[in-house]
Amino acid sequence: MRSVCVFCGSSRGANPEIIVAARQLGALLAERDIDLIYGGGSVGLMGELADSVLAKGGRAIGVIPQFLLDKEVEHVGLTQLKVVNTMHERKALMAELSDAFVALPGGIGTFEEFFEVWTWGQLGLHAKPYALLNVANFFDPLLTFLDHVVAEKLLRSEHRQLLLVESKPAKLLDRISTARPTQLPKWIDDEQT
């Protein structure tokens, strides 16, 4: 695993434990010689993460659309900043550059990016692992909801289980470095008819 794409909040959030975890993940990526691929921002948890990678001598590669660059929210000290035209191009390039995907706590931007990656995996468009860093039990309500979606037979249990969940950054990196998601049929009804 040479690169990991991390989606996370452009805000810092209210919980110091989450900020510490973002910094720990950044330091670990650098120590393990894994490139950080992320949205290129200087703000919030994104900034904390990238700063920690760079402080430990690691490589942080940002992918940012021009309109965000115009708002001057980009991180100016990155190893590389790739500028694209649209949010869709950004996600496509981040996915292409990365061997695995991680979401840290964040808001709707983080969810949207992570769910797209999961959807692409479910449709067999990639076979890269994806994981949530469930620090401070941030994602517990979402995990409960996902179990509800499985119970309602709108999400396959196997697809639900492909979502890796760890509360500690080191364990999370260990798991995504060895995980090989299997390709499964997408539609539950396919098996019932």
Between 105 and 156, whose beta carbon lies closer to ligand AMP?
105
Q: Which residues bind ligand AMP (CB under 6 A)?
A: 7-11, 39-41, 43, 46, 64, 68, 73, 106-110, 113
Q: Report whether 134 contacts 140 (CB < 8 A).
A: yes
Between 43 and 179, whose beta carbon lies closer to ligand AMP?
43
Q: How far apart are CA 161 and CA 147, in angstroms?
A: 10
Between 13 and 121, whose beta carbon lies closer to ligand AMP?
13
Q: How far is the CB of 165 from ligand AMP (least distance, A)?
A: 18
Q: How far is the CB of 186 from ligand AMP (least distance, A)?
A: 25
Between 108 and 154, whose beta carbon lies closer to ligand AMP?
108
Between 51 and 174, whose beta carbon lies closer to ligand AMP?
51
Largest CA distance in the chain: 55
Label residues 124-133 b or e (16+ Cβ within 10 Å = b).
Answer: eeeebbbbbb
Neighbours of 148 (CB within 10 A): 11
DSSP character at residue 41: B
Q: How far is the CB of 110 from ligand AMP (least distance, A)?
A: 3
Q: How far is the CB of 89 from ligand AMP (least distance, A)?
A: 12
Q: How far is the CB of 180 from ligand AMP (least distance, A)?
A: 25
Q: What phi, psi does 70 have (nearest 5°)?
A: -65, -25
Q: DSSP alpha helices (H): ranges in 37-183?
A: 44-55, 66-70, 87-97, 108-122, 140-151, 157-162, 169-178
| Parallel/antiparallel/unpaired status of strands 80-84 and 100-103 | unpaired
Instruction: Give me the residue whose beta carbon is nearest to ligand AMP.
Output: 109
